[in-house]
Amino acid sequence: MLIATALEKRFGAVRALAGLDLAINSGAFFALLGGSGSGKSSLLRVLAGFEAPDAGALTLDGQDLLCVPPWARPINMMFQSYALFPHMNVAENIAYGLKRAGLAQEERRSRVTAVLDLVGLKGLEARKPQQLSGGQKQRVALARSLVMRPRLLLLDEPMAALDAGLRERTGLELRALQRKTGAAFIMVTHDQQEALALADRIAVLEAGRVAQIGPPQEVYARPATRFVARFLGAANVLEGRMRDGVFESAEAGGVVASGLPVETIAIALRAEQIRLTSAGEVPYVTGILEDAAFRGDNWLLIIRLRGGVSLRLVHNAPPPAPGSAVGVAWGAGAVVPLFA
Partner 1 sequence: MKPGGLVRAVMLAGFLFLWLPILLLVGFAFSADRIPFQWGGFSLRWFGALAANERLLEAAFLSLRIATASATLAVLAGGGMAFVLARFGPFRGRALFGTLIGAPLVLPEVVIGLSLLLLFVALEALIGWPAGRGAVTILLAHAGFGAAYVAVVVQARLAEADRSLEEAAMDLGATPFIAFRTITLPLITPALIAGWLLAFTLSLDDVVVASFVSGPAGTTLPIALFSMLRLGLTPEVNALGALVVLVVGSMLALATWLLGRRCA
Binding site for partner 1 (CB under 8 A): 48-50, 69-72, 75-77, 79, 81, 83, 85-87, 96-97, 100-101, 144-145, 148
Of the two residues 98 and 202, which places its CB atom closer to partner 1 in the complex?
98
On whether the CB atoms of residues 201 and 218 are closer than 8 A, the answer is no
Q: How far is the CB of 106 from partner 1 (least distance, A)?
A: 19
Q: How far is the CB of 268 from partner 1 (least distance, A)?
A: 39
On whether the CB atoms of residues 266 and 338 are closer than 8 A, the answer is yes
Q: How far is the CB of 110 from partner 1 (least distance, A)?
A: 18
Of the two residues 81 and 133, which places its CB atom closer to partner 1 in the complex?
81
Of the two residues 137 and 315, which places its CB atom closer to partner 1 in the complex?
137
CA end-to-end distance (rounded Å), the chain = 29
Of the two residues 58 and 195, which places its CB atom closer to partner 1 in the complex?
58
Q: How far is the CB of 43 from partner 1 (least distance, A)?
A: 16
Element (H, E) at 188: strand 184-189
Of the two residues 75 and 268, which places its CB atom closer to partner 1 in the complex?
75
Strands (E), 219-279: 236-239, 241-243, 246-249, 254-258, 266-269, 274-276
Q: How far is the CB of 101 from partner 1 (least distance, A)?
A: 6
- Give the number of other Cβ atoms within 10 Å of residue 43's Cβ: 28
Sheet with 336-338: strands ordered across:
236-239, 266-269, 336-338
- Helix, strand, coil % in the chain, rounded to nearest 5: 30, 35, 35
